């Protein structure tokens, strides 16, 4: 396992060693000891989640606040997504900045999104299966979010707005300015 720091503090790309031959491949997709040693963090994941979505489906930008804030380790099992993390930790040197990475079934990259970050992804392929680990259980009353096309964040989602498919809940998310005013 190789852990690569992104421009956002505590946000990492995780590269796993792929052992391949004529039969296919084998990957150890997670090792708690190696992850904690390589990241310098003490993370214990408590739940795995998986979703499947069609092209253009955008899920995000979501986060849990307060004691329910979740760290996530995400990857793609099928297809391709553009994955986005936004640092919303007050006082962080990368506060308000975002990082984008394309995660695919073929590149086998994983993306670690720390607690205190908003997270979202959009499906670039015909379909994608998205898998992630979290270190806290979901608490519906502590969920907040920021609209994907917030003008202050200015995120390039690589698809036209007309191609984006949102849930009813995601259509009503607030702005970055509203979120920061509540800090």
User: 82 falls in which pLDDT band (50, 70, 90)?
Assistant: very high
CA distance 6 to 25: 27
Query: Cβ(128)–Cβ(76) under 8 Å?
Result: yes
CATH code assigned at 145: 2.60.120.10
Asked, for residue 120, whether it belongs to a domain, the answer is yes
> Which one of 98, 108, 132, 148 is the catalytic residue?
132
Asked, for residue 132, whether it belongs to a domain, the answer is yes
Q: Domain of 106? A: 43-181
Asked, for residue 79, whether it belongs to a domain, the answer is yes
Asked, for residue 99, whether it belongs to a domain, the answer is yes
Asked, for residue 62, whether it belongs to a domain, the answer is yes
Closest CA to 9 of 122, 81, 96: 96
pLDDT in tens, 117-142: 999 999 999 999 999 999 999 999 99
If one counts the domains in the chain, the total is 1
Asked, for residue 54, whether it belongs to a domain, the answer is yes
Other beta carbons within 10 angstroms of residue 75's beta carbon come to: 24
Asked, for residue 11, whether it belongs to a domain, the answer is no
Question: Residue 182: what pLDDT?
Answer: 85
User: Residue range 55-60: average pLDDT?
Assistant: 98
Asked, for residue 166, whether it belongs to a domain, the answer is yes
Annotated active-site residue 132? The verdict is yes
Query: Cβ(125)–Cβ(82) under 8 Å?
Result: no
pLDDT in tens, 27-36: 999 999 999 9
């Amino acid at each position: 396992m190789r852990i690569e720091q992104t421009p956002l503090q505590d946000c990492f790309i995780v590269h796993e060693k792929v052992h391949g031959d004529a039969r296919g491949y084998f990957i150890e997709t997670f090792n708690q000891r190696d992850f904690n040693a390589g990241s310098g963090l003490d993370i214990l994941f408590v739940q795995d989640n998986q979703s499947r979505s069609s092209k253009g489906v955008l899920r995000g930008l979501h986060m849990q606040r307060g004691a329910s804030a979740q760290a996530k380790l995400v990857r793609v099992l099928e297809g391709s997504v553009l994955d986005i993390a936004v640092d919303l930790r007050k006082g962080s040197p990368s506060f308000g900045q975002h990082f984008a990475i394309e995660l695919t079934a073929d590149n086998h990259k994983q993306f670690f999104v720390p607690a205190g970050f908003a997270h979202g992804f959009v499906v670039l392929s015909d379909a994608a299966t998205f898998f992630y680990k979290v270190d806290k259980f979901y608490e519906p009353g502590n969920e907040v979010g920021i609209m994907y096309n917030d003008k202050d964040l200015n995120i390039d989602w690589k698809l036209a707005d007309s191609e984006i498919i949102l849930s009813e809940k995601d259509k009503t998310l607030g702005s970055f300015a509203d979120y920061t005013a509540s800090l």
